[in-house]
Structure 1
Amino acid sequence: MKDLHILCLILFLFLGACRQPFPPPAPYGALPSSAQMDWQKMEYYMFVHFGPNTFTNKEWGDGTENPQLFNPTDLDCTQWVETAQKAGMKGIIITAKHHDGFCLWPSQYSTHTVRESLWKNGKGDVLKELSVACRQAGLKFGIYLSPWDRNHPFYGTKEYNQLFANTLTEVLTNYGDIFEVWFDGANGEGTNGKRQEYDWNLFNNTVYKHQPDAIIFSDVGPGCRWIGNEAGYAGETNWSRLDIEGFMPGKSPRLDTLNSGNRYGKFWVPGEVDVSIRPGWFYSQETDNQVKPVDKLVDIFCASVGRNANLLLNVPVDQSGRIHFKDSTRLMELKHTLDNMFTHNLAENKRVTADAVRGNDKAYAAENLLDGRYDSYWATDDHVFAASIEIDLDEKKDINSVLLQEYIPLGQRVSRFVVEAWDESKNTWKLLVEGTTIGYKRILRFETYRTNKIKLHIQESLASPVLNNIEIYHIPQAYLPATEKTESSLINNEGHLPTEKWTIQSPVHTRIVEIIDGKKTSVSINKNEAILIDLGEETQFRGFFYMPEENVSAANLARYNFLISHDGVNWTMLKRNAMFDNIRNNPIRQNQFFDRVVKGRYVKLEPLELTNQAEKYIVVEFGLLK
Structure 2
Amino acid sequence: MKKKTLLLAGLLGFNIAMAQEIKPYGSLPSKAQVAWNDMEYYMFIHFGPNTFTNKEWGHGDEDPKVFNPTHLDARQWARTAKLAGMKGIVITAKHHDGFCLWPSKYSTHTVRESAWKDGKGDVLAELSAACKEYGLKFGVYLSPWDRNHPEYGTATYNQVFANTLNEVLSGYGPVFEQWFDGANGGNIKQPYDWNLFHSVVYKNQPNAVIFSDVGPGCRWVGNENGIAGTTNWSTLNVKGFTPGAGGPPTKSLNEGNEDGEQWIPAECDVSIRPGWFYSPDTNDKVKSISHLLDIYYGSVGRNGNLILNVPVDREGLIHPNDSTRLMELRRVLDATFKNNLAKQAVVTATHTRSNNAAVQVAHLNDGTNSTYWATSDDATTTAITLTYKKPVTFNRLVLQEYIALGQRVKAFSVEILENGKMKEVARETTIGHKRILLLPDYTTTQVRINILDAKAAPVISEVQLYKAPGVLATPEISRDKAGHINITCASADPVIHFTTDGSMPGVKSPVFNKNTQLSLPRGGTVKAKAFLKNGNASDLATAAFDVAPAKWQVIQADAAAKDHEAGAAIDGNKATVYLTDRQATAKYPHEFQVDLGETLSLKGFTYIPATGESLGGIVYGYEFYTSADGKNWGKPVASGQFANIKNSPVQQNVAFKATAARYIRFVAVAPADAAQDWAGIAELGVITR
Q: How does 1:107-506 map to 2 (within 5 A)?
A: 107-189=104-186, 193-250=187-244, 251-359=246-354, 363-423=358-418, 425=419, 427-478=420-471, 490=479, 494=544, 496-506=546-556
Q: How does 1:13-92 map to 2 (within 5 A)?
A: 23-92=20-89
- Structure 2 residue runs of 5 or longer lacking an equivalent are 1-8, 481-524, 526-542, 582-586
Alignment match, 1:516: 570
- Structure 1 residue runs of 5 or longer lacking an equivalent are 1-11
- Asked if structure 1 preserves the Cα contact closer than 8 Å seen for 2:626 and 2:637, the reply is no
Write the letter of the residue equivalent to 2:663: Y
SS at match of 1:623: strand
Alpha carbons of structure 1 residues 535 and 67: separation in structure 2 relative to 1, 3 Å: same
TM-score (structure 1 length as normaliser): 0.92
Alignment match, 1:559: 621
- Residues 1:534 and 2:595 aligned together: yes
SS at match of 1:571: coil
Alpha carbons of structure 1 residues 381 and 16: separation in structure 2 relative to 1, 3 Å: closer
- Asked if structure 2 preserves the Cα contact closer than 8 Å seen for 1:558 and 1:608, the reply is yes
Alignment match, 2:532: none
Taking only the aligned residue pairs, the percentage that are identical comes to 51
Distance, in Å, in 1 between the alignment partners of 2:360 and 2:162 is 50
Give the number of aligned pairs: 603
Write the letter of the residue equivalent to 1:524: L
Distance, in Å, in 2 between the alignment partners of 1:394 and 1:486 is 41
Moved over 4 A (4+): 15-22, 485-489
Write the letter of the residue equivalent to 2:446: K
RMSD after superposition: 2.3
- Residues 1:599 and 2:653 aligned together: no
Distance, in Å, in 2 between the alignment partners of 1:537 and 1:403 is 58
Distance, in Å, in 1 between the alignment partners of 2:154 and 2:28 is 38
SS at match of 2:605: strand
Alignment match, 1:4: none
Distance, in Å, in 2 between the alignment partners of 1:575 and 1:100 is 24
Distance, in Å, in 1 between the alignment partners of 2:557 and 2:62 is 37
Alpha carbons of structure 1 residues 24 and 487: separation in structure 2 relative to 1, 3 Å: farther
Of the two structures, which has the highest relative contact order with CA contacts closer than 8 Å and spacing of 6 or more? Answer: 1
Report the CA distance between 1:19 and its aligned residue.
9.5
SS at match of 1:347: helix
Q: How does 1:542-557 map to 2 (within 5 A)?
A: 542-551=603-612, 554-557=616-619
Write the letter of the residue equivalent to 2:604: G
Distance, in Å, in 1 between the alignment partners of 2:89 and 2:343 is 33
Q: Per-residue CA shift, 1:554-606, capped at 9, x if unaligned?
A: 22112112223334333333367621111111111011112x32333332111
Report the CA distance between 1:488 and its aligned residue.
5.0
Distance, in Å, in 1 between the alignment partners of 2:277 and 2:260 is 35
SS at match of 2:670: strand
SS at match of 1:437: coil
SS at match of 1:80: helix
Report the CA distance between 1:391 and its aligned residue.
0.7
Distance, in Å, in 2 between the alignment partners of 1:18 and 1:494 is 72
- Asked if structure 2 preserves the Cα contact closer than 8 Å seen for 1:422 and 1:429, the reply is yes
Report the CA distance between 1:537 and its aligned residue.
4.5
SS at match of 1:54: helix
Alignment match, 1:6: none
- Asked if structure 1 preserves the Cα contact closer than 8 Å seen for 2:580 and 2:678, the reply is yes
- Asked if structure 2 preserves the Cα contact closer than 8 Å seen for 1:551 and 1:587, the reply is no
- Asked if structure 2 preserves the Cα contact closer than 8 Å seen for 1:226 and 1:273, the reply is yes
Distance, in Å, in 2 between the alignment partners of 1:110 and 1:574 is 35
- Asked if structure 2 preserves the Cα contact closer than 8 Å seen for 1:552 and 1:586, the reply is no
TM-score (structure 2 length as normaliser): 0.84
Q: Per-residue CA shift, 1:446-478, capped at 9, x if unaligned?
A: 122110001010010000000011101121243
Farther-moved stretch of structure 1 (167-176 vs 511-520): 511-520
- Asked if structure 2 preserves the Cα contact closer than 8 Å seen for 1:552 and 1:587, the reply is no
Distance, in Å, in 2 between the alignment partners of 1:599 and 1:109 is 48
Distance, in Å, in 2 between the alignment partners of 1:615 and 1:64 is 31
- Asked if structure 1 preserves the Cα contact closer than 8 Å seen for 2:21 and 2:356, the reply is no
Write the letter of the residue equivalent to 2:26: G
Distance, in Å, in 1 between the alignment partners of 2:645 and 2:15 is 65
Report the CA distance between 1:616 and its aligned residue.
2.7
